[in-house]
Structure 1
Amino acid sequence: MPGMGHSLRAAALLAFVVLSILVSLLISSVQQFGAGIYHFSNATVAGDEEEFASLHGALIYQLNQRRKEIIPLLLFDGEETWESFYQRDQTQDSPMDYSLWNEITHGSRKAHMDEMDCQSLVDMQAVEVLGSGYTKLVVKVNLAGGQPVALKLVNEQGIDMGKCVEDFKDPRGCRELVSYKLKKEIVLLQRLQHPNVIKLKGHCAVDAGGRGGEGEKVTVILEQGNPLQMIQLLQSPWEDRFRVCLDLVRLLHFLSQSPLGSVALLDFQPRQFVTVSGELKLTDLDDASAEETSCQTHADCTLQFPHRNFTLPCSAQGVCEGLNEKRNIYNAYRYFFTYLLPHQAPPGFTHLVDHIMNSTGELKADINHTLEAFEHILLLYKSGLHLDNLPPSIIRDYTVMRGMGTSGDTEYRCWPSYSQQGCLLSVHSAREAAFICNSHSQCNSFTLTGQKTWTGRLLASFRSSFSHLVPDGTSEVYVKKTKAPETSTV
């Protein structure tokens, strides 16, 4: 079916052209910057072929070095240390290496991913640029069927591309060199599949023209997530903030014993994460490293942070013990736990949260113990065991009307609330809701809505008053009983 192959190739290239045009509308001065680069490149080739040949050789060397960095990620099986693997791998340059590399480059390695490829990008519509950095551009697009996905591609106006062209005078070769990070990310996303790692839906690699063309274009197709907004998260209920921290710890536990060994996130920042349906997911893996740090003494195993340093033991095998794992834990502490975990934690969990903060902030616990501590809090929170001290009689002060809702509410605000217009909180039971209502001077009634949070807890709406009841099969209304006025005796 040669005709179909040509049509798919043409469709893919057309999709890239459409995407390039739409993206260029969102980025300033694209045409001017690109024109300057290509003009400079042509002048260089024409003016000094000998210098160009030297630069081309240096660029080829860099490309081969990048390839050698990625191939071990495909071949490493976790049965040996990275140090011994690299020693063995340096003596080999087998045809299988090039075969694996070609599979990445030409998009044929799809055994571990969904079937999205270049054809999936036909008739896509670019929606917005989600982010841009030194190397990559992230664009939200809607596919032909309306499905939203995120595309990662080389940032033509990024610092890495500009620096490469300045050094090597070869835009086509530089695009291939810079795209190495995308190829590395494809491999890592294939090897590190986990609920808290963004899902790789596929990728597309096409050669846009011959020797005089723009060269290879690589695009990574990912599930669509929402950038993690720390300011917004700080204003969220504790339950949602705890979820982010729990998801992060589950991810770090996986990375500590992944198929590649213990993986460190070298660029550990909130901007590397997104949320998908409330679930935290790592979306940027190009700076992840599974290499172990070799050492001769304990002093070689120092973790340095802006305000703290930690020295880890050097093992008899000459490797820093747990360095990648401990690096991840402390970064989780300083970027996430410090801001999200302690504030407004339920009173019954204060001592447990304090223990987590101390053990992670001082690197006293490994990731296994840290995960156990988080899962223990989750168990208590979902089961309501931390509420055992609440008196059962507290609910007797309320009259309950099942299968009813309210209308004409007079609401008040509380913080943090799931609603900005009123006071909407999660509770384990009507007993906890009654306790909360009693602690709010404005509260005279509350409704259990039937809606649940990610933990299975109920959402309760608290108010000062309401005008009348309305039928609602999913709700229960609790109203404070009015006390008879006390009679004075003379």
Structure 2
Amino acid sequence: MKCKPTSATCLIKFFIFLLCVSILFFLLALREWMYTRNPTAVKMGWNNGTGDVEKIHSPEFQKLIKGLDPKLCDRNVCEEILPMKTASYLSSGHHKSVYRVEVCGKTFALKTVHHEGPWQVECEKDRSECENELIVSIAREGWILSKLIHPNILKIFGTCFSDIAAQGEDSERIAVITELGIPYDLVPEQHKTTGFRLKMAHHVCQVLKYLASSPLGPLLMLDMKQQQFVLVHDHLKLSDMDDVVMGDPSCDQVEDCQREIHETVLSGECSAGICEGLNAMINTVTAGRTILRSLLIDGASLALQQVAKPLITDLIENRSNITDFINRLNEISSDISE
């Protein structure tokens, strides 16, 4: 039965409708006010509305940047770090730039977006969308580092994130703060003694073992090479984790678990739909061809080269695993002198 315009029932329904609409607009306005007030608001669709606005305050991104405003001393430091006024440039890679920053009387490394890097230049999307993807990548790396606690993996102290409008055009939106290390490539040759090289090789092996059964599952490094390692107080540490794949590949049959890496055919076991051990094998073979070869053969003493070459060959041809390699490395460590 339709109500008459003058009936009390219609007026009540109309006022209820207006009240609901008012509450809705109030909640929307309140949410926008909270984003404006909060300098760590995650706005994936900033810069004139470009990007995926549905990702605003997405749970996934919040998970990545958990640990905002790291307390490196007795205060939160993001507000003084993100403007980059005290940062000194160190190096750049495909996605990131690394800076040296002094906070609370201590020195740290700061990883942030490489705005003019190869990835940004080659990205075919809107520039703000490309930068958003880099921000997510760096946040993901910070989250992964926070979960991997190991003496030979770079220690993270926190992640800072801010809407660019809160800091100014010259500031950074994201910064991952870590230990400051020396890239292995920059270690002076006179320091690369046989003992030093063997010790660093042991550190790499410990990383490989840890990645095979990390708290995040078996991890695959898509780009395992010496440039991803830095020296921190005589410990060689894995520093770049932005290309990590979590979990062994899925499979329906054993053929799905075969990979050819540098002419070496690797075969994992297809168990319960997972290629068990495949990530570890790929990491080991790749490390043998890159960082371990650089440590034990390239520029090493003749005595070390002679005993290391068969070990490296067996490793990269998948005739031995990382445990066998460590055992053989231990045997030669006590036999070789300078």
TM-score, length-normalised on structure 1? 0.51
Separation in structure 1 between the aligned mates of residue 113 and residue 328 of structure 2, nearest angstrom:
41
Residue of structure 1 in register with 2:200 after alignment: 244
Residues 98-147 of structure 1: CA distance to partner in whole angstroms, max 9, x if unpaired? 44632544744869x998641563897646422112321111122352x2
2:259 maps to 1:326: no
Deviates more, 1:217-226 or 1:338-347: 338-347
Q: Which residue of 2 aligns with 1:167?
A: 125
Work out the percentage of aligned pairs sharing the same amino acid.
Answer: 26
SS of match in other structure, 1:315: strand
Gapped regions of structure 2 (runs ≥ 5): 1-37, 41-46
Partner residue, 1:139: 99
**Residue deviations 1:250-308 (CA, integer Å, cap 9, x gap):** 111111111011111111121111111222111110101123212344433333334x2
Alignment root-mean-square deviation, CA: 3.9
Q: Provide closer, same or farther for how the CA distance between residues 233 and 362 of structure 1 changes in structure 2, counting only shifts above 3 A.
A: farther
Q: Given residue 101 of structure 1, which amino acid in structure 2 is its aligned partner?
A: F
Report if aligned partners of 2:212, 2:219 keep a CA contact under 8 Å in 1.
yes
Q: CA deviation at 1:180?
A: 0.8
* Higher normalized contact order (CA 8 Å, seq sep 6+, divided by chain length): 2
Matched, 1:198 2:190: no
What is the 5 A alignment of 1:430-445?
none
In 2, Cα distance between the equivalents of 1:99 and 1:109?
Answer: 18
Equivalent position of 1:366 in the other structure: 321
Conservation of the 8 A alpha-carbon contact between 2:90 and 2:100:
yes
What is the aligned partner in structure 2 of residue 434 from structure 1? none
1:263 aligns to 2:255 (yes or no): no
The answer for unaligned runs of 5 or more in structure 1 is: 1-8, 13-41, 46-52, 68-96, 388-425, 428-490
Cα distance in 2 between the residues matched to 1:124 and 1:341: 39
Task: Report matched runs for 1:174-323 at 5 Å.
Answer: 174-209=130-165, 217-229=173-185, 232-233=188-189, 236-306=192-262, 308-323=263-278
Determine if the alignment matches structure 1 residue 158 to structure 2 residue 124: no
CA distance in 2, matches of 1:122, 1:191: 23
Q: 1: distance between equivalents of 2:198 and 2:256? A: 35
Evaluate the alpha carbon distance shift between residue 359 and residue 175 of structure 1 in structure 2; reply closer, same or farther with a 3 A threshold: same
Q: For the residues of structure 1 that align with 2:228 and 2:70, how far apart are their CA atoms? A: 25
Question: Any residues of structure 2 matched to 1:116-131 within 5 Å, and which?
Answer: 117-119=77-79, 121=81, 126=86, 128-131=88-91
- Counterpart CA distance in 1 for 2:199 and 2:280 is 21
- For residues 162 and 266 of structure 2, the distance between their equivalents in structure 1, rounded to whole angstroms, comes to 47
Q: Which amino acid aligns with 1:292?
A: D
Change over 3 Å in CA distance of 1:346–1:214 after alignment to 2: closer
Q: Give SS of 2:108's match.
A: strand
SS in structure 1 at match of 2:274: coil
Which has the higher Rg, Structure 1 or Structure 2? 1
* Amino acid across the alignment from 2:255: A
Q: TM-score normalized by structure 2? A: 0.71
Partner of 2:108: 149
